[in-house]
Chains A and B, each alone.
Chain A
Amino acid sequence: MFRSIWPYIGAGIILLFAIGAILAPWLSPYDPYEIHLSEQLAGPSRAHPLGQDANGSDILSRLLYGARISLAVGLSVVALTAVVGVLLGLVSGYYGGWIDTLLMRLVDILLAFPGLLLAIALVAVLGPSMRNVVIALAVLGWVSFARLVRGQVLSVREREFVLAARTSGQSDLRIMVVHILPNVLSPVIVQATFGIAGVIISESSLSFLGLGAPPGTPSWGAMLSQGKQVLLDAPHVSIFPGLAIMLVVLAFNFVGDGLRDRLDPRGGSGRRG
């Protein structure tokens, strides 16, 4: 299906992390919350392959549980924003007029905010919790989907088969769902894979700043933040969560690139360069 090997590698990495996340309770050698103050910051060993953190908790176990948070937040934010964005973009592009003007001005305004700062402000107001992280990231996340879909709809709307659908006498809703939506979905799927990668980074950033999961929760961002204070003495505490973030983000980008090449032959080869 794909022309190069990278999308397969990406999919493989995502699959591994997904399995790790789902089977975390069985795969983890230890309880991720277990504290062994006597074994603080112990380096990788036979018993703890990735070492232990400031509380003496097993880093491998925390990484596996952390994958649950990263993937769950990534998927839920993207699912939520994609649905909202696609609907708004569809309506905006199909009807045009004042609905379109209103929505697109809103999009312009939201795009003018620095995304992460807005999310920080929102979480600061709502209080740090996973639910609020999802809300904060979703507030801006739909914008890119809406804009993408609107642009696609504008070009598909004037294609003759859509005109033919209108002159066949069917309702606007049916035209949008049956004739337009399937023809604009490909770029949405591509955008979604890149979106998941972006959300995982944002979630980690928020957690890194202490605005994500409550203290002690095994989130990759929080783990990275914790490791920051002991970076020179015990680099393994930050290296492994950092590596996990990088791998998953890279994997989603590989898949995204592959999907884009596959679904849209006109697109460039993009960031692989």
Chain B
Amino acid sequence: MRESILQLRGVGKSFAERGGVLRREQRRLQVLDGVDLAIHSGEVFGLAGESGCGKTTLARVVMRLLAPTAGDLRLAGIDYGEWARRPRRAFYRQVQMVFQDPYASLNPRLRVHRILGEMLTIHGLANGDRRRRCTRMLEQVGLTADDLDKFPHEFSGGQRQRIAIARALIIRPRLLVADEPVSALDLAVQQRIVDLLGTMQRKLALTLLFISHDLHLMTEFCDRIGVMYAGRLVEILPGRRLIEGGRHPYVQGLLNSIPIADPRQRAAKRPLLEGEVPAPGAHIPGCAFHPRCPQRFAPCDHLRPELIEAAPGHWIACHLFSAT
């Protein structure tokens, strides 16, 4: 068993929906609900799911941009409560993030050398050769020294995402969280950015938490994939096994929904999921997926399925697999 760099135990996050004159809490929106997850050192872990499933909230909780309302997290073996007592930069020396929208994640008023350089300054790595280190980092992500003095708006979306990757990696973090890093980009550019992330991951022995809704993209790229539904992880399995080995009824429905680039295999012949993802405020007893599940049976509407290891390395939260 490899060492875990990031561990989540029972992590929950709920938001208060307030209303009325007194801004009293009307109800709680449960966005994350008891997430257990361990990410191994050096792996590419993919987190998949549709919008509203909680994957972005999970990334923000991991990044300490949001505080969890339940459970605990450990990074590099140290509890988040302990990290909170240490200087902020110590935590972010370990973990960095690449955001979804490269048009929003770079301060429009700073030149590239400042965007990269301030990372070195903050983390006390700015000895003399600052500009050279920035240049080297830029070259590693496929840009040139000439780009150091430009502003973000002078770059294309793909180039901006390269800058964002350079910013995250220039201090050599151990874990990189990438939240939908390519979904705002053109298809042709997407593949190149994913390739870049893969190259950097191998070169720097980085651990990568890669969040995406594109299962095809992930299956080729991720060592393991976890699929989320309504704030919970419903299945975790090796990435290359996802397409053929996904067993959870939701995951199968999700896979059936993906359009296939072959007119001979039209979805018209595949069973599709009915209905839509529940709203975050909806309290569904038992398995959150049961109202849409074509295979639901007795326990599903009142008993919550736990994530159990159905086969080595393959975890499923579904009564179909826990009944035995």
Contact = CB atoms under 8 A, between A and B. Distances in A.
Q: Do chains A and B touch in the complex (CB under 8 A)?
A: yes
Contacts of A160: 99-101, 104-105
A170 B118 contact: yes
A164 to B, nearest CB: 5
Given A163-B65, A167-B65, A167-B96, A179 B88 contact: no
Given A160-B100, A163-B65, A164-B99, A169 B107 contact: no
A164 B92 contact: no
B123 interface: yes
A183 interface: yes
A113 interface: no
A38 interface: no
Contact of A159 (B92, B93, B104, B167): B104
A168 B104 contact: no
Interface string A142-165: 000000000000000001110111
Contacts of B60: 163
A169 B97 contact: no
A169 B101 CA distance: 20
A167 B65 CA distance: 8
Interface residues of B, number: 29
Contacts of B166: none
Given A169-B92, A170-B118, A170-B122, A183 B109 contact: yes
Contacts of B93: 169
Nearest to B65: A163
Interface string A3-14: 000000000000
Interface string A167-187: 111110000001100110000
A247 B96 CA distance: 55
Contact of A170 (B89, B95, B101, B109): B89
A182 B108 CA distance: 10
B106 A169 contact: no
A168 B106 contact: no
A28 to B, nearest CB: 45
A189 to B, nearest CB: 15
B90 to A, nearest CB: 8
Given A160-B100, A160-B101, A168 B109 contact: no
A166 B122 CA distance: 11
A164 B119 contact: no
A168 B123 CA distance: 9
Given A161-B107, A163-B99, A182-B109, A168 B65 contact: no
Interface string B18-31: 00000000000000
Nearest to A174: B122
Contacts of B63: 163, 167
A161 B89 contact: no
A119 B61 CA distance: 48
Given A169-B122, A169-B123, A170-B118, A164 B106 contact: yes
Contacts of A171: 88
Nearest to B98: A164
A164 B118 CA distance: 12
Given A160-B100, A163-B65, A163-B99, A168 B167 contact: yes
B164 interface: yes
A59 to B, nearest CB: 48
Contacts of B105: 160-161, 163-164
Nearest to A170: B122
A165 to B, nearest CB: 7
A159 B109 CA distance: 14
13 contacts: A160-B105, A161-B104, A163-B63, A163-B65, A163-B97, A167-B65, A167-B95, A167-B96, A167-B97, A168-B118, A170-B88, A170-B118, A183-B108
Interface of B: 60, 63-65, 88-93, 95-97, 99-101, 104-110, 118-119, 122-123, 164, 167
Interface of A: 159-161, 163-171, 178-179, 182-183
- Shortest beta-carbon contacts, A-B, top 9: A169-B92, A169-B89, A160-B105, A160-B104, A160-B99, A161-B107, A167-B97, A170-B122, A164-B105
